[in-house]
Amino acid sequence: MVAEFSLLLTCGISLIWCLMPRVQVTAGFFRIQMLLVMGLSALGVLAMGQLTSGSGDPLSSTLLFRARVFSSIAIGFAYFGSIAWTLDRRPVGTWAMVGILGATLISLICSRGATMGLTTSAGVFHLLSSFSTAFLLGAAVTGMLLGHWYLTAPTMSIEPLKTLCWYFAAAVLLRFLVSLSGWMIAGDELHRGLHWTWFSLRWLAGILGPMAISIMALRILRYRNTQAATGVLFAGVILCFIGEMSAALLYSELRASF
């Protein structure tokens, strides 16, 4: 679970980097972000031996090797990206972001989508669920960290934080639609009381809670209060983590994406 979570978070963060307006954000923010992703990728590589296939069996040696190789490539891109952003070489730093996103996407496909076969509807849906999870985690964490960055760069434009809050809201909506589809497909699998407990926690903390958080953050930013918005986004990150961990527990038990 550690390897999966690290990989999803790295993929989501790099996706948000590529989507967000970077011109109005100081280079120091991305330098620290690169170091964060480098650490997450290294953690994922070390823990990838725990990855399992869609049936619960250990991941094949070929897929495991490919996932490790591309995660290691992401580490290299993050290292050079941190140097580029330290020197404020934005074009080179942007290419490093694209490289990290591409490498982590391939690693994610090897470790999640390819385990069930992309030719099956279950495999495609599981991969879509993984992408929506990565988008949600990346939007929540990057938005929260950008909000904290305003403490060191108070004169920075508030527009990038507003944009990330909108991304967060879009990610919650996408995760809601995917989870709802998973519920409709595999709802009959929820038999035991423990499953319903995890399912309730998954929806209350992982869907409804972040949905309310995104609305609150956008309304707070109308008054240009970045500190209050950051505090709200921090709560959103915790809720997203709880919700996605509950979804991972349900998948490990039922092999169904909620």
| Domain boundaries defined on the chain | 1-115, 121-258
Measured distance CA(198)–CA(245) in Å, rounded: 9
- Residue 33 belongs to what H/E stretch? helix 27-47
- DSSP-assigned letters across all residues of 136-153: HHHHHHHHHHHHHHTTT-
Token digits for 254? 């039922």
Measured distance CA(110)–CA(101) in Å, rounded: 14
Which residue do the tokens 């919650």 mark?
Answer: 172
Nearest residue to 44 (alpha-carbon basis) of 134, 167, 140, 142:
134
State residue 52 phi and psi, 5-degree precision. -125, 160
Do 38 and 82 touch, CB atoms closer than 8 A? yes
Nearest residue to 217 (alpha-carbon basis) of 225, 200, 207, 229:
229
Token digits for 66? 């490919």
Which residue do the tokens 């490790």 mark?
Answer: 68
What's the burial of 42, exposed, middle or buried (CB within 10 Å: 0-12/13-18/19+)? middle
What's the burial of 201, exposed, middle or buried (CB within 10 Å: 0-12/13-18/19+)? middle
pLDDT for 161: 96
Do 107 and 40 touch, CB atoms closer than 8 A? no
Token digits for 252? 């490990």
188: amino acid identity, one letter: D
Measured distance CA(32)–CA(145) in Å, rounded: 10
Q: What is 1-115's CATH topology?
A: Four Helix Bundle (Hemerythrin (Met), subunit A) (1.20.120)
pLDDT for 58: 64
Which residue do the tokens 């956008």 mark?
Answer: 218
pLDDT for 3: 80
120 in helix, strand or coil? Answer: coil
Q: pLDDT tens digits for the chain (258 residues)?
A: 788 889 999 999 999 999 999 999 999 999 999 999 999 999 988 888 766 655 555 667 777 888 889 999 999 999 999 999 999 999 999 999 999 999 999 998 887 655 455 666 777 788 888 899 999 999 999 999 999 999 999 889 999 999 999 999 999 999 999 998 888 877 677 777 777 888 889 999 999 999 999 999 999 999 999 999 999 999 999 999 999 999 888 887 777 777
pLDDT for 116: 52
pLDDT for 126: 81
